[in-house]
Amino acid sequence: MALKKESFMRGTMALSVAAFINRILGFISGMYVARVLGAEGIGLLMMAHPLVPLVITITELGLPVAISKLVAEAYARDEKEKVRRILYVSLSVTTFLSVTLTTFSLLGSHWIASILLSDQRAYYAMLAITPIAPIVAVSAVLKGYFRGIQQMKIIAASDVLEYSVQIACVLALVHLLLPYGVAYAAAGAMAASVVSEAISLSFLAISYKLRGEARAPGETWAGHIRHGKQTLNELLQIGLPTTGQGVVQSVYSAFQPLLIATSLGLAGLSTALATKQFGMLAGYAFPLLFMPSFITQSLSTALVPAIGEAAANKNDRLVHERMNQAMRLGLLIGAPATVILFEWATPLTTLVYKTPEAGLLLKILAPMFFLHYFDAPMHAILLGLGRASATLWNYIISTAFKAIAIFVFGSQFGIVGITFGIGIGIVMQTLLNFFSISGSIGIYMSIQPYLMVTVSMLLMAISGHWMFDYLTAVQHLSLVWSVVDSIICALMVYFVAFLSLNAIHKATRTILIPR
């Protein structure tokens, strides 16, 4: 189905607004959990979580992306019966696989915990989160359906509902279970995710039911399954190439806590201290780093079909136009966010988590993480161009280098070395995706906006640093007001500088280019 410009923009806007609300809710929830459980409890949460993405990735088989594409095409041809067959076949496959794998995960939970968990106290949290896999898998299928019929508002509403329920459940369960120990409180936080996902799935199911799509005479679920072999093949042809990266990512995520704990152990840290430091990195630094990227993530969701449509129509100009829009949005979001996270690293971790020592980790990652704001759009561009295999190999190579860097640097320099290792992986993955796009269609962009942003970033950092020192040392304001006021002042300097440089550039260009 050809995506109209207004549909593309409305969908991106709806997802962006929902993502912003969810980030705020998730940040509040994460801040509460981090303060109550402490770095050690957050470390238990991070250790217990990675098994579930692996199960979800295997059960989804990349179907959500395939569903959205095939449903859009069938809906454009008014093939309502095929739309339902795509949905029924996908639901049957994902439900069977997710329930089967979740059952095996629960039955073998002790054995899995003995292999993956460096701290066995994370067992209860791992057990609590395991039932989420079938719920998420079925939700992903329904979301793929709604993306295919261009109903992004339903997806956005379900996401907001999910996070709202999650924060309420987290507050209740952590408070109730904390007296029994940090391990049980961490399990309660995980259980809250299961409850919220179930509520979100219920909303999606009701939304589908309310659409009231009438079945054809004699049309049954069993009939769709019996005649669904061709539909399944079509789904797998699109879905399987994108599954490989998810499997590799999930496997690595499952073993990363063990890799980090082993590296810190070789550096001379005890298990409890290693868990605490891993919690500071994964539970304190990463949420702040990922906070500003919700817009680029939302854009990427809508960018895949937009790029795919333009490429299918051999409209190279539109491909580059969409690509430049995405890259400039990444620049617009990433530049001031990087300055804030670098310049105010310690004040932010002190203010939000009451853990100033996490500021060093945030300061190390912030400059390297700047490239991450471009990575999501570039990944979407490659998928839209049909280069899923390139994204897979780029991820494998960058992950291998990251794992080696984490082990080598972590065993020598502790948590600081691990932080540098993770940053190296982010930089390498973004650069590899950049080179893959360049090799496919070339990248044509003006360097002036990037130079103007660089100058504006420098002015923002200098003015923000001076203002923060002035407010704290001279005016003796509290930390919260010093941080807020200095960041606002720095952002004003940034945007004024950028707009001024842009105006100068346009005036110069008008003079230099003859009529």
Residue 274 lies in a domain: no
Entry pTM: 0.71
Q: Looking at the structure, do residues 431 and 500 belong to the same domain, yes or no? A: no
pLDDT at position 220, please? 62
pLDDT at position 86, please? 85
Q: Give the tens place of pLDDT for each residue, 66-77.
A: 787 777 767 766
CB count, 10 Å around CB of 273? Answer: 17
Distance from C-alpha of 430 to C-alpha of 394, rounded to nearest angstrom: 9
CA distance to 123, 205, 357, per residue, from 44 (Å): 9, 33, 19
Query: Which domain covers residue 343, as residue numbers?
Result: 285-327+338-445
Nearest to 275 by CA among 34, 31, 47, 33: 47
Residues of the chain with pLDDT under 50: 1-6, 510-515
pLDDT at position 514, please? 39
CB count, 10 Å around CB of 57? Answer: 23
Q: Quote the tokens at residue 323.
A: 């690509």
CB count, 10 Å around CB of 512? Answer: 7
Q: What is the CA radius of gyration of the chain?
A: 24
Distance from C-alpha of 387 to C-alpha of 12, rounded to nearest angstrom: 23
Q: Looking at the structure, do residues 457 and 437 belong to the same domain, yes or no? A: no
Q: Looking at the structure, do residues 375 and 489 belong to the same domain, yes or no? A: no
Residue 279 lies in a domain: no
Q: Looking at the structure, do residues 432 and 456 belong to the same domain, yes or no? A: no
Distance from C-alpha of 302 to C-alpha of 502, rounded to nearest angstrom: 29
Q: Looking at the structure, do residues 182 and 300 belong to the same domain, yes or no? A: no
Distance from C-alpha of 281 to C-alpha of 31, rounded to nearest angstrom: 14
CB count, 10 Å around CB of 137? Answer: 29
Q: Looking at the structure, do residues 309 and 420 belong to the same domain, yes or no? A: yes
Helix or strand holding residue 467 (H, E): helix 448-469
Q: Looking at the structure, do residues 184 and 261 belong to the same domain, yes or no? A: yes
Distance from C-alpha of 428 to C-alpha of 422, rounded to nearest angstrom: 10
Q: Is the dihedral of CA 354, 357, 360, 366 positive or negative?
A: negative
Residue 273 lies in a domain: no
Q: Looking at the structure, do residues 381 and 409 belong to the same domain, yes or no? A: yes
DSSP 374-437: HHHHHHHHHHHTT-HHHHHHHHHHHHHHHHHHHHHHHHHHTHHHHHHHHHHHHHHHHHHHHHHH
Q: What's the chain's length in residues? A: 515
Exposure class string for 309-340: b at 16+ Cβ within 10 A, else e: bbbeeeeeeebbebbeebbbbbbbbbbbbbbb
Residue 224 lies in a domain: yes
DSSP 8-class letter at 212: -
| Angle (nearest 5°) at CA 342 between 341 and 345 | 70
Q: Looking at the structure, do residues 75 and 134 belong to the same domain, yes or no? A: yes
Q: Which of 267, 293, 316 is the last residue of a domain?
A: 267
370 — phi, psi (to 5°)? -55, -35
Alpha carbon 419 to chain centroid distance? Answer: 19
Residue 272 lies in a domain: no
143 SS3 class: helix
Q: Looking at the structure, do residues 427 and 472 belong to the same domain, yes or no? A: no
Residue 129 lies in a domain: yes
Q: Looking at the structure, do residues 90 and 168 belong to the same domain, yes or no? A: yes
Residue 275 lies in a domain: no
User: What's the structural domain count of the chain?
Assistant: 3
Distance from C-alpha of 76 to C-alpha of 391, rounded to nearest angstrom: 29
Q: Which of 414, 445, 476 is the last residue of a domain?
A: 445
Q: Give the tens place of pLDDT for each residue, 355-391.
A: 888 899 999 999 999 988 888 888 878 877 777 778 8
Q: Looking at the structure, do residues 389 and 465 belong to the same domain, yes or no? A: no
Residue 280 lies in a domain: no
